[in-house]
Amino acid sequence: MATGGREIERELRAAGEMSDADLDIAHLALMLAASDRPEISLAPYRTHLSELVDAARGTAADDISALSCSVAAGMLAGVMAGRFRYLGDAETYDDPRNANLAHVIDRRKGLPVTLGILYLHVGAKLGLDITGLNFPGHFVLRLRGPDEALVLDPFNGGQPLTPADLLALLRGVEGPEARLTPEACEAVGTRDILLRLENNILSRAIRAGDFARAREVVTRMIWLAPQRAGLRFELGRLEVHAGHMGAAADAFATCMDIASDIGEMRIAGMAEEALRRLKPKLN
C-alpha cells in the first residue's frame, strides 16, 4: 500500500519535534523517498532493511561490540558491498535517483550520503558505534571499536580511509590548497544527515531552474527541522521567485524570529533586510 502525502507530512512534522537521538534514519529517509514516489509501497523496502541487518548479524560473532574495528568494518563492507552490491554511482552521479533511498535500494547504487544511511542503519541495529561525519562534498562514516577508530567510505565499498585519503578527497572538492581541519571530522546527527541528503535534491533543482521543485524540497526540510532559520530564508527566496509575496513575507518574518531567538543574528539581519525590500511589493 502506497504512503500518502498527508501521512508523510505527519511523519516528518513529528520527527521535527523529536530529539535527534530518537530519529530513525532509514525510516525517515524512506518517508522522504516516498515524497517523490507516491505510487510505491514502502513495505518491501522495510523488509530489505531488515534483511541487511539479519545478513550482517549472521556473519558476526555473538558479541558484536567486542569485534575489532577492522573486523567490524570488513563485516559491514562484506555485507553491503559484497553480498548486496551497494556501490557509488560514479558513472551517473547526478542522476536524481541517487538521492532517493527507495531508488538506491532498487538499483544498488547511489550517492555517498544515501549509501551511508544504509550503513548507519545496519550499524546502529547491530549496536556498533558508527556515525556520519561533517566532511564536505563526500559523506563518510566513522566506526569506533574497542581498539581504534576508522573512517569508512560508503561510496567505495565501505573501504577505510587514511588521513591522506581524506585530504585527497577534500582537495578534490575545495581545491589544492585545502587543509584537513578538525571540523571536517566532527560527528553529525541524524537530522543533519537527512538534511544533507535533501540538500542534494534541492541544489540540483535550483541549478536546473526548477523552483517549484525546490520549494517542495525546502518545505519538507522545514518539517524535519522547523528551527533551522536558514531553511525559512531559502523558502522566502523561493516564494519571491514564484510571485507569492505574502508567503515570502511570512517565511522571512519566521526566519527573523527563529534566528533572533537562537542568536543567529547574521541570518536575522538578512531576513529583516529581505522583509524591508519586500514591503513595497505587498501593497
Write down the pTM of the prediction: 0.94
Task: Give residue-wise pLDDT tens across range 188-227.
Answer: 999 999 999 999 999 999 999 999 999 999 999 999 999 9
* Eight-class DSSP state of 153: E
Burial class for 37, CB neighbours closer than 10 Å (0-12, 13-18, 19+) = middle
* Residue 46 confidence (pLDDT) above 60: yes
- What sections of 93-135 are H helices per DSSP? 101-107, 112-125
Name the grid cell of 180.
584537513
How many whole angstroms separate alpha carbon 258 and alpha carbon 57?
A: 44
Kind and range of the H or E run holding 48 = helix 43-59
Domains of the chain: which residue ranges? 5-188, 227-282
CB 200 within 8 Å of CB 113? yes
Mean pLDDT, to the nearest integer, of 256-280? 94
**Lowest pLDDT segment from 57-71, 200-214, 265-279:** 57-71
Task: Give residue-wise pLDDT tens across range 81-134.
Answer: 999 999 999 999 999 999 999 999 999 999 999 999 999 999 999 999 999 999
Task: Give residue-wise pLDDT tens across range 162-195.
Answer: 999 999 999 998 999 999 999 999 999 999 999 9
pLDDT of residue 281: 79
pLDDT tier, 61 (very low <50, low <70, confident <90, very high otherwise): low
pLDDT tier, 38 (very low <50, low <70, confident <90, very high otherwise): confident
